[in-house]
Amino acid sequence: MTGTPPEGRANLVLVESPAARSGMPAFRRAAGLGLTPVLATADPARHAGAAAAGVRIVPCDTGSPATLAGELRAALGEIVGVTTTSRRHALAAARAAADLGLPGNPPGAVATCHDRGRMRASLAAARLPSPAFEVVGPDDDLDARIVAALSRIAMPCVVRPVDGAAPPGVALCSTFAEVTDHCRRVTADGAGSALVEGYLAGPEFSVETVSSGGVHRCVGVTARRMAQPPHLVARGHVFPAPLPPEAAGVLGETACRALTTVGVTDGAGHVTMRLIGGRAYVVEIGTLPADGVISDLVADACGFDLLDAHLRAAAGLGQLPLPGRFVPAGVAFLLAPDGPAADAVTAKDVRGVEDARAVPGVVAVGVTVPREAPGRPADSGRERLGYVIAHAPTHAELDERLDSALGRLRPAPQDRPPIAIPRQERWIPPSTIPTSS
């Protein structure tokens, strides 16, 4: 065990929260709440940054949810909460919190959110708007199961792993061969099951929530600009979404109903949704705060700290008041383009960073692809080459600033001209969002 707890401070345990990414902000927030942040990890060497920052580290078997609570109880004194910022370890943290009698989501609720097939079945049983779906297992007769699925699921359809943390990601398929190929990739070597479901052809949003004791509150709605099919990845986010109150209300109400349906009770949530004909369809339910970029946008736009709210819930502390004033903030991502030229792109080849920073209202510009690792056509968030973040008094001005700054970034492999990035669609104006069927 490393680190010495400040005298009189209770321990808040974070299970495998990566110090290099979401962990360090969580450690700082916990200390700011008067708690001792404790990192529970099976491999302390992976978290040198946390140790250097004075975070208390407890070596334990985080891969064994059944014994984790006992190990934590033996290693620590008073524990006020167990949580994580790592989706992969959310179930282990929930199990440990439940075994210790501490606040948190029931393990069964977390497991349902992580199993897309179980989540889909729960939402459909509760008569929430849902696409047709079918789970294809690694031991199934693949062709026969897909024929049965496509007899009631229209093309194009979406294929994704049932386990939200598993590769190879999400694919939009337009033919039987494409569905079969991606299902085979997902289920290869018994790795897991595939979910085949109808494609929700509507604008995408995420609803940021906070919950306590089964009571859910909507912090706000984030709009997503999506890449062109077949790449089902986000090109950017804006918070708050440019929506009329009725549409935002439908999204928020449906998200809260979905959280209740799957059994979520406590902490920050991130519910991905699509809006079609005035009805809100759930795509994913996350039981942790939105990823760092969206959480930062929420904080910048309205001052509400999703991570702080999540840690407060885990420690049984009081809730934060909901925000009342919003200033639009957004992020736009530079994605690896299609085509063989993209294979040669590295961070040092992304030009125009200083030009993008010069756009009024831009507060950050970054390059995210490893310096020597080539970019690839975008089929997951890992193929982002860079990003720009901006603020503006109105959504229209924010749109202009994001487009202008992103347009100044150009991937240009050495000894080649810059790769042309097609201008993307504008953010969807509120007037184009249907609010009733």
Single residue among 175, 198, 221 that ends a domain in this structure: 198
Cα 285 from Cα 255, distance rounded (Å): 9
User: From residue 282, how far is each of 171, 206, 218 by CA, in Å?
Assistant: 17, 9, 15
In tens, the pLDDT along 389-434 reads: 999 999 999 999 999 999 998 877 655 555 444 444 444 333 334 4
Question: What is the pLDDT, as a whole number, of residue 52?
Answer: 84
Give me the DSSP letters along 106-120.
Answer: -HHHHHHHHBHHHHH
Question: What is the pLDDT, as a whole number, of residue 424?
Answer: 45
The number of folded domains in the chain is 4
282 within domain boundaries: yes
Residues 37 and 95 in one domain: yes
Single residue among 325, 342, 362 that ends a domain in this structure: 325
Q: What 8-state DSSP symbol labels residue 185?
A: H
Residues 240 and 187 in one domain: no
Single residue among 275, 302, 325 that ends a domain in this structure: 325
Residues 289 and 348 in one domain: no
2 within domain boundaries: no
Residues 319 and 366 in one domain: no
Of the pLDDT bands very low, low, confident and very high (cuts 50, 70, 90), residue 228 is confident
Residue 347, classed as helix, strand or coil, is: helix
Residues 163 and 226 in one domain: no
391 within domain boundaries: yes
Residues 363 and 350 in one domain: yes
Packing angle, helices 116-125 and 245-262, rounded to 10: 110
Cα 391 from Cα 98, distance rounded (Å): 41
Question: What is the pLDDT, as a whole number, of residue 372?
Answer: 52
Q: CATH no. for residue 82?
A: 3.40.50
In tens, the pLDDT along 285-294 reads: 999 999 878 9
425 within domain boundaries: no
Place of tokens 């080849």: 349
Residue 218, classed as helix, strand or coil, is: strand
Mean pLDDT across the stretch 156-174?
87
Mean pLDDT across the stretch 317-325?
92
Residues 244 and 141 in one domain: no
The range of the structural domain enclosing residue 384 comes to: 329-411
- Side chain identity, residue 275: L
In tens, the pLDDT along 337-386 reads: 665 455 556 667 788 999 999 999 999 998 876 555 555 555 555 477 88
Q: Are 301 and 353 in contact (CB under 8 A)?
A: no
- HSE (side-chain half, CA atoms, 13 Å) at 217: 17
Check whether 188 has a pLDDT greater than 50: yes
- Burial class for 396, CB neighbours closer than 10 Å (0-12, 13-18, 19+): middle
> For 358-429, where are the alpha helices, taking DSSP H only?
395-407
- Quote the pTM value: 0.88
Q: What 8-state DSSP symbol labels residue 22?
A: I
Residues 312 and 231 in one domain: yes
Q: CATH no. for residue 385?
A: 3.90.600
- Side chain identity, residue 144: A
Question: What is the pLDDT, as a whole number, of residue 417?
Answer: 54
36 within domain boundaries: yes
116 within domain boundaries: no
Question: What is the pLDDT, as a whole number, of residue 437?
Answer: 34
Check whether 244 has a pLDDT greater than 90: yes
Residues 209 and 319 in one domain: yes
434 within domain boundaries: no
6 within domain boundaries: no
